[in-house]
Amino acid sequence: MARKTASVNIHEAKTRLSRLLERVSRGEEIVIAKAGKPIARLVPADLPARRLGMDAGRVIVASDFDAPLPDDILASFEP
């Protein structure tokens, strides 16, 4: 399905950004122009949905992850 496209000038884009983003979220493409010449496009981000807990069991945190570093490693950070 083709996206509906509209063109606006920079001043209108700055003034009405929230409204333009709402239109984009509904699938519309907005072209921002300067002196009638297109310079940018606002399009939906198409980000994948994130599921809570999708990495459960993949990350292991050591029980001593916040323990002080050994002296020899600490010394390597000092000038």
Print the domain residue range for 13: 5-42
Q: 37 in a domain, yes or no?
A: yes
Using CB atoms within 10 Å of the CB of residue 30, give its burial: 0 to 12 exposed, 13 to 18 middle, 19+ buried: buried
The order of strands in the sheet holding 29-34 is 5-9, 29-34, 37-42
Q: How far apart are CA 45 and CA 8, in angstroms?
A: 19
| Maximum separation of any 2 CA atoms in the chain, in Å | 64
| Count of domains forming the chain | 1
Quote the pTM value.
Answer: 0.55
Q: 32 in a domain, yes or no?
A: yes
pLDDT in tens, 15-66: 999 999 999 999 899 999 999 999 999 998 887 777 888 888 898 899 999 9
Taking alpha carbons only, the member of 7, 15, 73 closest to residue 35 is 7
Q: 17 in a domain, yes or no?
A: yes
Q: With cut-offs at 50, 70 and 90, classify the pLDDT of residue 1.
A: low
